[in-house]
């Protein structure tokens, strides 16, 4: 009887302990986005680049997922960054082209960024690098959800300095002569002025240090880090540590320095026990600026480059790594885009979607390697002043008649100087990107039903987002922020 009582008492105590034990919640995953400027699809070694080495990107690809059909939101700086941070086609939110230092528009503060939706979930948010969505308060990163910021407010060539690194002469007719000195901003104030190419050579290491310090300082909190390198956008400049190390000229040296930067970020995550709980996304804002020749990258054989709606302009390298969630060493040929990052991160981190309509799609099933996952059915290529220049569905891409930049009629420039990039007439054409990723063979006569289907799909976008090529005004476009004097 006593034994039975003791056994019952022990069972009751044990049961109470079991009932009272609540396993701790898994920590929220951290998110790191590493965004390159003008890095081409074919630039990383794991995408066919070289003869320089990119061992850290190669390691990311071996430990994560490499995308072979990944698209920037648009093939130009500001529009591309607006798409990444808001999950919208940039023309939906009124951002086009590359905003100048004196631009009268900026990213509207009413648009919700990745930083803002994660901040609402208790995340610490930090940015290092190129912003390019508004050059002054209240349109800088800290007014758009980032707790900390160090970087340039726009492209590193938007300064009163000629291609040889010397200031423009007072008699120069180039509009850049009137640009203000290039400010390195910390928080919302100028920390120092970037005046020379030697100053620019410090940018990669400055951004890297800021990013790694942010990780170390917030290792016990969920965080979002946006590292947006200013290069390989021209003018390219390399720190003394990496000059002459690649055997492939200044561009090769720069690629190795940028790769080393990624390695430092990954090492910092590992040293602080954060690797397994951090989603790292690497990609680029658009393709290479090919008329700069040996100071530009390559498209891996894709057609044209930056500033065009051909594949070389908008298809970019992308690798995503998240141990235990993204199968290691996988490659996907499914279509995805930077506009899909926000909704995917929102689902992963338990954040609310923006209140206003976005265009991105949750691609988490694709990241997890789920069988038959194909979340993005199609993609539209807008450029310039709200011009719908192409549309892709499946393997077929329909290019609409428009004026297109070309790099194929003139020799490129060399050693930091540009060649010509004239505009030519791009005709209506249908390409099968599976067999013809270089967009060389028009197959519209063979597949008229595909043309009809893509035309009809394009018309739905013309009605909602507009199309300057067909003089259609959209019903869902929103206004950008307006910059005062």
> Which residues are tagged catalytic?
77, 132
Cα–Cα distance between 142 and 115 in angstroms, integer?
Answer: 10
Cα–Cα distance between 426 and 309 in angstroms, integer?
Answer: 10
Could you count the other beta carbons within 10 Å of the beta carbon of residue 73? 33
**Structure tokens of 361?**
């799609």
The 3 state secondary structure assigned to the chain is CHHHHHHHHHHHHHHHHHHHCCCCCCCCCEEEEEEECCCCCCCCHHHCCCCCCCHHHHHHHHHCEEECCEECCCCCHHHHHHHHHHCCCHHHHCCCCCCCCCCCEECCCCCCCHHHHHHCCCCEEEEEECCCCCCCCCCCHHHCCCCEEEECCCCCCCCCECCCCCECCCCCCCHHHHCCCEEEEECCEEEEEECCHHHHCCHHHHHHHHHHHHHHHCCCCCEEEEEECCCCCCCCCCCCCCCCCCCCHHHHHHHHHHHHHHHHHHHHHHHCCCHHHEEEEEEECCCCCHHHHHHCCCCCCCCCCCCCCCHHHHECCEEEECCCCCCCCEEECCCEEHHHHHHHHHHHHCCCCCCCCCCCCCCHHHHCCCCCCCCCCEEEEEECCCEEEEEEECCEEEECCEEEECCCCCCCCCCCCCCCCCEEEECCEEEECCCCCCCCCCCCCCCHHHHHHHHHHHHHHHHHHCECCCCECCCCCCCCEECCC
370: preceding bond cis by omega (within 30 degrees): no
Cα–Cα distance between 185 and 207 in angstroms, integer?
Answer: 11
CB-based contact 300:62 (threshold 8 Å)? no
Cα(first)–Cα(last) distance of the chain, in Å? 90
């Amino acid at each position: 009887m006593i034994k039975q009582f003791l056994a019952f008492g022990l069972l009751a105590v044990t049961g109470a302990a079991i009932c009272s034990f609540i396993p701790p919640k898994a920590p929220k995953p951290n998110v790191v986005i590493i965004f390159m400027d003008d890095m081409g699809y074919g630039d990383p070694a794991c995408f066919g680049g070289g003869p320089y080495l990119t061992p850290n990107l190669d390691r990311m690809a071996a430990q994560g997922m490499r995308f072979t059909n990944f698209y920037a939101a648009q093939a130009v700086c500001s529009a591309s960054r607006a798409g990444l941070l808001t999950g919208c086609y940039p023309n939906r939110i009124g951002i086009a082209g590359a905003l100048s230092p004196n631009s009268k528009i900026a990213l509207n503060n009413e648009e919700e960024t990745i930083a803002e939706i994660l901040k609402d979930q208790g995340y610490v948010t930090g940015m290092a690098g190129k912003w390019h969505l508004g050059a002054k308060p209240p349109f800088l990163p800290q007014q758009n959800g980032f707790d900390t910021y160090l970087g340039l407010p726009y492209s590193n060539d938007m300064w009163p300095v000629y291609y040889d690194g010397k200031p423009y002469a007072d008699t120069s007719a180039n509009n850049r002569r009137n640009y203000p000195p290039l400010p390195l901003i910390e928080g919302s104030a100028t920390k120092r002025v970037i005046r020379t190419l030697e100053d620019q050579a410090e940018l990669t290491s400055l951004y890297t240090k800021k990013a790694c310090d942010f990780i170390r300082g917030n290792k016990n909190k969920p965080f979002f880090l946006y590292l947006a390198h200013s290069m390989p956008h021209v003018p390219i400049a390399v720190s003394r540590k990496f000059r002459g190390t690649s055997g492939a000229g200044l561009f090769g040296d720069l690629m190795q320095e940028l790769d080393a930067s990624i390695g430092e970020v990954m090492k910092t995550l590992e040293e602080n026990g954060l690797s397994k709980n951090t989603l790292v996304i690497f990609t680029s804002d658009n393709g290479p600026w090919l008329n700069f020749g040996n100071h530009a990258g390559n498209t891996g054989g894709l057609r044209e480059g930056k500033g065009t709606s051909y594949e070389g302009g908008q298809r970019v390298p992308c690798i995503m790594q998240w141990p235990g969630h993204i199968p290691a060493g996988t490659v996907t040929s499914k279509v995805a885009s930077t506009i899909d990052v926000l909704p995917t991160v929102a689902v992963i981190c338990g954040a609310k979607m923006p209140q206003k309509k976005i265009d991105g799609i949750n691609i988490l099933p694709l990241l997890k390697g789920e069988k038959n996952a194909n979340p993005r059915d199609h993609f539209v290529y807008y450029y310039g002043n709200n011009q719908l220049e192409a549309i892709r569905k499946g393997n077929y891409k329909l290019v609409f008649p428009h004026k297109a930049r070309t790099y194929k009629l003139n020799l490129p420039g060399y050693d930091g100087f540009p060649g010509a990039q004239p505009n030519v007439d791009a005709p209506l054409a249908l390409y099968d990107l599976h067999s013809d990723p270089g967009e060389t063979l028009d197959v519209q006569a063979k597949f008229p039903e595909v043309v009809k289907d893509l035309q009809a799909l394009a018309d739905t976008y013309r009605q909602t987002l507009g199309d300057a090529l067909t003089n259609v005004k959209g019903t869902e476009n929103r206004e950008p922020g307006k910059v005062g004097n």
